[in-house]
Amino acid sequence: MSRLGLSQELRALLRTDGEPLTVARLAERVGDRGFGLLLLVLSLPSALPLPAPGYSVPFGLLLLALAVQMLLGRSYPRLPQRLQRQALSPRLADHLLSGAAWFFRRLEWVIRPRMRWVGGRPGRVLMGALVAAMAMLMVIPIPLTNTFPAMVIFLIGIGLTGRFAARGTEIGVVPTFGAVPMFSTNPISISFPTAEEPPFLLDMATSITPYNRVKMYQELGRLLPLGWGMDDQGQPATDPAVVRRLYPLGGSREMGSHKGYGLAMVVEVLCAGLSGEWCDGHDEDDRCFEGYGQTHDAHFFGAIRVDLFRPLEEFKRGMDAMIRSLHAAPKEPGQERIYVAGEIEHETEQERRRKGIPLPANVVADLQELSRRFEIPLVLDGAATGPGRHP
């Protein structure tokens, strides 16, 4: 399943576009992904050693409202309208990003899903009681008493966020006619050997696009084609920062999404079904179905002995002839070439071995910042052209 790390989640949630970030907008971005992200962000101004006066009391009240809902056993947060008008200034949001993103990137290397019962109803009630106590301490107007309770809530938020992400369904692929992600992008990779032509290599997601392409569009500041995905509310979206649900391969039912959906199900059965990762025993988690759930990634590998069907060299020659027949087929107007799976990637690899790998401007900036911070020399080809630079 494609997942956003905590640092990426934080960057997406605190994006201000130069305007104050209201709690209503923050809640909209969180959508149905649980309490953890809201607890995390609302506790940040007081938990981090950054100057953020005036936020502990209003945000403490918001945290208290969330705690009450957790105590009531609710699965997803809902905030009163009048509290949703509270806002983070763009300057504070930028400070939080710069102060916490570095910490989160390192935290992602060590946190792992544990104590899975915490994500279920009993765990939310217990965590709700602790958050309520800490939130009440935050709203008491006594100097220098906010950091500790805010840090406790901050850590609870990290724990709940990591627990929810462990399910792997907050970013995923909806089934045809579905509104909630039920699959990962469930890729399929199949390769056939050849004699002289580059090996046939089909490597594809069963979603309309792999999620890393959505992130690439976001990094390049480009909009997605309409029809790739939806936001948390199930509405078609082109902003890569808010797309949380991808359509199956094909997009709509009329364009054949049922076929991509069917392939995704096949991958799910081969990987999770056969390995036993899709299993029962999760009765304590009310987000599993009849006690069934999947808690880890699963894989399926298979190999075919070609020489049990026909001589291997004969098969390879046949593959070459099949590929060349496709190359020689008539082209549609305006097209010069017909490709087979893996050819574009093979030729791109050869080119980049000669010329280097183009890097987007934001990646170059991150590498330069890391080079300065850790005093490691960084050599880039400044003469490279195009949207990126080459190492």
Distance CA 169, CA 4 (A): 11
Helices 35-47 and 6-13 sit at what angle, rounded to 10 degrees? 80
**Whether the model pTM is above 0.85:** no
DSSP state of 173: E
The reported pLDDT for the residue numbered 197 is 94
pLDDT, position 29: 58
* Residue 240 CA, distance from chain mean position: 11
Per-residue pLDDT at 288: 66
Which regions of the chain are under pLDDT 50? Answer: 1-4, 32, 51, 163-169, 383-388
Where b means 16+ CB within 10 Å and e means fewer, 275-284 reads eebbeeebee
Q: Residue 176's pLDDT is what? A: 92
Q: Is 220 a member of any domain?
A: no
What is the spatial distance between Cα 88 and Cα 45, in angstroms, rounded to a whole number?
A: 9
CATH number (domain holding residue 269): 3.30.1370.60
Total count of domains within the chain: 3
224 within domain boundaries: no
Residue ranges making up the domain that contains 309: 188-208+247-351
- The model's pLDDT over 327-370, given as tens digits with 9 standing for 90+, comes to 999 999 999 999 999 999 999 999 999 988 888 777 788 888 88
One domain, residues 149 and 262: no
Q: What is the pLDDT of residue 262?
A: 95
What integer pLDDT is reported at residue 99 of this predicted model?
56
Q: Is residue 174 part of a domain?
A: no
Q: Are residues 375 and 264 in the same domain?
A: no
- pLDDT at residue 385, rounded to an integer: 35
In this structure, the answer to whether residues 139 and 281 fall within a common structural domain is no
